[in-house]
Amino acid sequence: MAAAPARNIGNWWFAAVLIAALALWFAGKGTVPWAFDYPKAWMIPAMQWVGGFSKWLVDQAHFGLFTFKELTRFLAGLVDFPYRIVLSLLATGFLEGQGSAAVQIVPPLPWWAVTIIAALFGHWAGGRKLALFTTACFLFLAAFRQWDSAMVTLASILVAAPLGTIGGILLGVACYRWPLFQRLIAPVLDLMQTMPVFAYLVPVLVLFGFGPTAAIVATLIFAMPPMIRVTLLGLKGVPGEIHDLAAMVGCTQAQTMWRVLVPAARQSLMVGVNQVIMLSLNMVIIASMIGAGGLGFDVLTALRRLDFGAGIEAGFAIVVLALVLDRLSQAAADKLGAPQASTEGRSFVQRHPHGVAAAAVAVMAILLAYMAPVLQAYPQALSVSTGAFFSDVVAWINVNYFDALEGFKNFILLNILVPAKRLLFTVPWIGAVAVLAALGFKLGGWRLAVLAGTLVFLIAATGQWEKAMITVYLCGTAVVLATLIGVPVGVLAADRERLWRGVQAVIDTLQTLPSFVYLMPVVMLFRVGDFTALIAIVAFAVVPAIRYTVLGLQKVDPSLIEAGRAMGATPWQILSRIRLRLALPDILLGMNQTIMFALSMLVITALVGTRDLGQEVYIALTKADIGRGIVAGLAVAFIAIVSDRLIAGAAARQKAGLGLA
Amino acid sequence: MLKSMTRSMTRGLRGAMFGLVAAAALAAATPAMAQESTDPIKLTLHDWTGQLITTNLMAEVLKKAGYSVELVQADYLAQFAGLEAGDLHVAMEMWETTGRDAMDASTATGKTEVIGPTGMQAKEEWWYPTYMKEKCPGLPNWEALKDEKCAEAFSTAETAPKGRYLGGPVTWGGFDDERVAALGLPFEVVHAGTDAALFAELESAYQRKAPILLWIYAPHWAPAKYQGEWVEFPAYTKECYTDPKWGSNPDALYDCGKPFGEIWKVGWAGLKDKWPGAYKAIKAFSINNDEMGAMITKVDLDGKSVNDVVAEWMAANEPRWSEWIKK
């Protein structure tokens, strides 16, 4: 154990710094006031710097022949072109001219044609079962009168997801090829994933123009990083034998990459595609605020008139879209990866029955649209709606149970939230910097110590300390609660196939249903404030806590459990001493994701009146103050990065300790 | 095709050609004006019903005048980035009460301009449901709120014994924290994050006939749906917000009610050169609170569609809007 002495030094340092910081904390504000309130005179004017830089970027930056803004507008055009085509096909039809004077030349595909084509795709990729599932999903959209909005949303996802996937693969390959590039891009990826979208919305709008294109660009910024990471991870995971094989058969470098390595990493790449789709759908609400329209806009307007039924219907339409896209993409990947049956000696139609049928349906649908326009829209008489049902349910709970709920809320508020908040407000910033740096040193050496210390210092030095503490208190409490709920649920579900399927359906819904949909009923029952925000954060952050617990437990080698049983361990001992201990690295990873999910909810909780960094970002957005928004956004990102690195360090140590690494 | 043909033609022909196209496309088109761009005019849609109605009305009127219009969904304040760049052209409702700062900041760049008032008056003030009068008989006079018993009637566990006042989102401004301090009201200000949250709380309290005091604005469906009244503060004057000596508290600003004000139309500065006729029509557009309140009620409470309500108004008010688009 060569690392043992180093680890001991880390532990000593950590203990010493912790004691010093605690002493400072107890000594209180009176002794060294500057350690508690960061002095104004030392403040780094980051807001002005960022504001000035972005102004320069937008107004002056140029590359000789063209300006930076012209470049971004050109890129926007590249995104806009495929989007217009897909949108025309699914929603608006192909038009001559612009705006309201436009005349439709070719109508869009009617609802039944889209459904049949999707079902054919499902049949090709996953057989009859998937075809039926796809049909049911699309019929749901039509029957609940969500069709038109759903097609607008679908169009933007159908453009954003492939662009995100292709871009992610290209950048991932570049990272693999050039380690220097990887090192340069790594911090950027962290920021892309952890900065609240509202923080960079204004610059995106200015640079890419207003409308669906800017929304797609914002979606790409948010949804692409996991694809890049997964690509890199997948390529690195390709076994050495395959490399050798490629070298032996004389592949060029490009051939090795595109013909051998990328296909070999296909399994991991599909995980990335799934993430891109899910994250794109997470962006639907925010995208609709900047001109993307579609289902997100319906959710927003429905909730503004407190029409919960309409909000839930539009929200579930988003969930259905997510489900169907996820299943189809997974099945398609499996299909493409499976060995193909020999098709020699067959005609084109025989080789591509699904493609030919889909094309035939499309052509027929458009011809029919000219002859019998009635068939274009889903018949009104067959549509269903939940009407006032959900509003009535909420009203009933409100009238009958409000007092009981209020009691529960006050209990949590007075016993957990308020004390936690008070406690964090008394923490001296310099103590936090020192303790986290020491913890970084203990867990990952001096590099991690410098990183953690610097980032935490920067939060204080840019004047975000107090808001950051509210953020930590809110997200921290939520993460603890989510873990307390998520881990036991995961333990219960891990070896019960049927329960796990049910739980999966619930967490898939929680992940894709826009939280705005349930946030307003929650406001009715619990009023605006921290408690409501807490519910929203926990509901979202519990998803990874459950998922990773199950993943970790299911990965545990069954022979180890068997060995434990043979030695006469009780079920409780098997769970606590064997299964949970071995699953701990995965559970820690899940906790890391729980923190990320919790932080990503800050944007939403700002909408129910919290006073954290999320609110700061939101205020900056409404004032179009780029500097203020980015600085507050960076503070969120720094909290995320510090907690991510520290937990990753802890997980790595845990793994090493268990001999799993 | 037609569009590319017209483009290749001479200027004089282009106007005539556009007239033909417009007439063909819109049977009821009034003769179109020459020399104006045929590009679509982009109007922004936000997420509250009144604004959707106003914007759709304007769009219909412009269509009648032969213009091509496009409605783009955009955030109320984030839209200024688009208006300044000319990506968006017209925002129909910029409220004096909530949008003034952003509007001033934007017009100061010279890239946007105020096209004039919509004729509607924004009203924003503290509001309570009528049933609260029993518990606090002195209302609507604001001095009733100074009474501790009255404040306690509005309290919750978190704020007791102080009353709880639910203010608008922090982004709306409004100086309510300052107002409470200046007037010495035993109240705590809690900010809702969005206006959806604001009305969710009102709906919840109203269903239970529970105490609530909150920020309401009009034109909106809430004053039509719920029975209640505005608190009557000392009337707003400019001095109240700028001169501490003014009002009952000689040491503080904001010892008065909120300002009421116009709802403005704002547009891209290039609008009047690119579509002079449309600019005139937008400038002429005017509608009053009662009309708007009635239309909002039809949509939000009676469940009619925005398009139907707009079409009704267009049919009933033809002389009015044809005046706006007259040459």
Taking one residue from A and the other from B, the number of pairs with CB-CB distance under 8 angstroms is 182
Q: Which residues of A touch B221 (CB under 8 A)?
A: 305
Q: B74, A615: Cβ pair inside 8 Å? A: no
The fraction of chain B above a pLDDT of 70, given in percent, is 89
Q: Which residues of B touch A288 (CB under 8 A)?
A: 73
Q: Which residues of A touch B1 (CB under 8 A)?
A: 96
- For the stretch A160-203, pLDDT in tens is 999 999 999 999 999 999 999 988 998 888 888 888 888 888 88
Instruction: Look at residue B29 in the predicted model and tell me its pLDDT.
Output: 40
Q: How far is B77 from chain A (nearest CA, A)?
A: 5
B243 touching A, CB under 8 A?
Answer: no
Contact A107, A93 (CB under 8 A): yes
Cis peptide leading into residue B161 (ω within 30°)? yes
Instruction: Look at residue B35 in the predicted model and tell me its pLDDT.
Output: 65
Only one residue has tokens 């008032």, namely B117
Architecture per CATH, A411-658:
Orthogonal Bundle (1.10)
Task: With a cut of 70, say whether residue B302 has pLDDT above it.
Answer: yes
Contact B198, B159 (CB under 8 A): no
Which residue, A650, A623, A640, is CA-closest to A468?
A640
Do the first three CATH levels of A144-338 and A411-658 match, i.e. the same topology? yes
pTM: 0.84
As a whole number, mean pLDDT of residues A419-434 equals 88
Which residue, B158, B175, B159, is CA-closest to B167?
B175
Q: B77, A402: Cβ pair inside 8 Å? A: no
B155 touching A, CB under 8 A?
Answer: no
User: In this predicted model, which residue has the larger pLDDT, A254 or A340?
Assistant: A254
Cis peptide leading into residue B140 (ω within 30°)? yes
Q: How far is B55 from chain A (nearest CA, A)?
A: 14
Task: With a cut of 90, say whether residue A137 has pLDDT above it.
Answer: yes
Q: B158, A529: Cβ pair inside 8 Å? A: yes
Q: Residue B327: pLDDT band by 50, 70, 90 thresholds?
A: low
State the CB neighbour count (10 A cutoff) for residue B245: 10
Instruction: Look at residue A305 in the predicted model and tell me its pLDDT.
Output: 79
Spell out the residues 6+ positions from residue B170 whose beta carbon is closer than 8 angstroms to its own.
Answer: A609, A611, A615, A619, B191, B193
- For the stretch A75-112, pLDDT in tens is 888 888 899 899 888 888 787 777 667 777 788 888 88
A175-179 own/partner pairs: CB under 8 Å, 24+ apart: A175/A228, A175/A231, A175/A232, A176/A231, A176/A232, A176/A235, A176/A236, A177/A257
State the CB neighbour count (10 A cutoff) for residue A121: 19
Q: How far is A61 from chain B (nearest CA, A)?
A: 16
Nearest CA in chain B to A98: B40
Instruction: Look at residue B312 in the predicted model and tell me its pLDDT.
Output: 94
Q: Which residues of A touch B170 (CB under 8 A)?
A: 609, 611, 615, 619
DSSP 8-class letter at B31: P
As a whole number, mean pLDDT of residues B255-281 equals 91
State the CB neighbour count (10 A cutoff) for residue A440: 26
Only one residue has tokens 């939280």, namely A515
Q: How far is B107 from chain A (nearest CA, A)?
A: 14
Residues 66-105 of B with CB under 8 A from A: 67-70, 72-82, 85, 87-88, 101-102, 105
- For the stretch A209-241, pLDDT in tens is 877 888 899 889 988 988 998 888 888 888 888
Q: Residue A1: pLDDT band by 50, 70, 90 thresholds?
A: very low
End-to-end CA distance of chain A: 15
- For the stretch A301-314, pLDDT in tens is 888 878 888 899 99
- For the stretch A438-496, pLDDT in tens is 999 888 888 999 999 999 999 999 989 989 999 999 999 999 999 999 999 999 998 88
Please work out, in degrees rounded to the nearest 5, the angle formed at the alpha carbon of residue B42 by the alpha carbons of B41 and B47: 150
As a whole number, mean pLDDT of residues A253-274 equals 83
Which residue, A110, A105, A138, A108, is CA-closest to A122?
A138
- For the stretch B183-241, pLDDT in tens is 989 998 888 888 888 899 999 999 999 999 999 988 888 888 899 999 999 888 888 88
Which residue, A588, A387, A553, is CA-closest to A483?
A588
* 3-state SS class at A199: helix
Instruction: Dihedral sign for Cα A53, A54, A60, A65, please.
Output: positive
- What is the spatial distance between Cα A625 and Cα A629, in angstroms, rounded to a whole number? 6
The pLDDT mean for chain A works out to: 85
Task: With a cut of 70, say whether residue B19 has pLDDT above it.
Answer: no
Q: Where are the domains of chain A?
A: 144-338, 411-658
Instruction: Look at residue B13 in the predicted model and tell me its pLDDT.
Output: 41
Instruction: Look at residue B9 in the predicted model and tell me its pLDDT.
Output: 40
Instruction: Specify the pairing of strand B69-73 against strand B90-95.
Output: unpaired
Contact A182, A175 (CB under 8 A): yes
B210 touching A, CB under 8 A?
Answer: yes
Q: Residue A607: pLDDT band by 50, 70, 90 thresholds?
A: confident
Instruction: Look at residue B301 in the predicted model and tell me its pLDDT.
Output: 81
Task: With a cut of 70, say whether residue B4 has pLDDT above it.
Answer: no
C-alpha dihedral over B256, B262, B268, B274, to 10 degrees?
A: -160
- For the stretch A335-386, pLDDT in tens is 776 666 666 667 777 778 888 888 888 888 888 877 777 777 787 777 888 7
User: In this predicted model, which residue has the larger pLDDT, A192 or A133?
Assistant: A133
User: In this predicted model, which residue has the larger pLDDT, A142 or A26?
Assistant: A142
- What is the spatial distance between Cα A459 and Cα B326, in angstroms, rounded to a whole number? 59
Task: With a cut of 70, say whether residue A627 has pLDDT above it.
Answer: yes
Please state, in angstroms and as integers, the Cα–Cα distance from residue B53 to each residue in A445, A448, B220, following that order. Answer: 61, 56, 12
Beta strands in A382-433 (DSSP E): none
Task: With a cut of 90, say whether residue B59 has pLDDT above it.
Answer: yes
- What is the spatial distance between Cα A347 and Cα A351, in angstroms, rounded to a whole number? 6
Which residue, A289, A281, A291, A292, is CA-closest to A315?
A281
Instruction: Look at residue B7 in the predicted model and tell me its pLDDT.
Output: 41
Which residue, B33, B113, B92, is CA-closest to B67?
B33
- What is the spatial distance between Cα B300 and Cα A310, in angstroms, rounded to a whole number? 12
Which residue, A255, A291, A280, A252, is CA-closest to A80?
A291
Candidates 1.10.3720.10, 1.10.10.60, 3.40.720.10, 3.30.565.10; CATH matching A144-338: 1.10.3720.10
Q: Residue B169: pLDDT band by 50, 70, 90 thresholds?
A: confident
Paired tokens of B65? 């005048």
Instruction: Dihedral sign for Cα B302, B303, B308, B309, please.
Output: positive
Q: Which residues of A touch B102 (CB under 8 A)?
A: 622-624
As a whole number, mean pLDDT of residues B160-180 equals 84
- What is the spatial distance between Cα B141 and Cα B123, in angstroms, rounded to a whole number? 17
Q: Which residues of A touch B156 (CB under 8 A)?
A: 527
Interface test with A, best of B204, B215, B225 (most A CBs within 10 A): B204
Instruction: Look at residue A211 in the predicted model and tell me its pLDDT.
Output: 76
Instruction: Look at residue A6 in the predicted model and tell me its pLDDT.
Output: 55
Q: Which residues of B touch A519 (CB under 8 A)?
A: 197
- For the stretch A28-81, pLDDT in tens is 777 777 777 788 878 888 888 888 888 888 777 777 778 888 888 888 888 888
Which residue, A438, A426, A420, A430, is CA-closest to A459?
A430
Spell out the residues 6+ positions from residue B145 whose beta carbon is closer than 8 angstroms to its own.
Answer: B136, B139, B151, B163, B185, B186, B187, B213, B231
Q: Which residues of A touch B196 (CB under 8 A)?
A: 303-304, 306, 516, 520, 523, 607
Of A202, A413, A606, the CB nearest to B193: A606
Q: B171, A622: Cβ pair inside 8 Å? A: yes
Task: With a cut of 50, say whether residue B23 has pLDDT above it.
Answer: no
- What is the spatial distance between Cα A432 and Cα A20, in angstroms, rounded to a whole number? 11
Domains of chain B: 2-121+262-324 (3.40.190.10), 123-261 (3.40.190.100)
Residues 14-73 of B with CB under 8 A from A: 21-22, 25-26, 38-42, 47-49, 52, 59, 63, 67-70, 72-73
- What is the spatial distance between Cα A538 and Cα A485, in angstroms, rounded to a whole number? 9
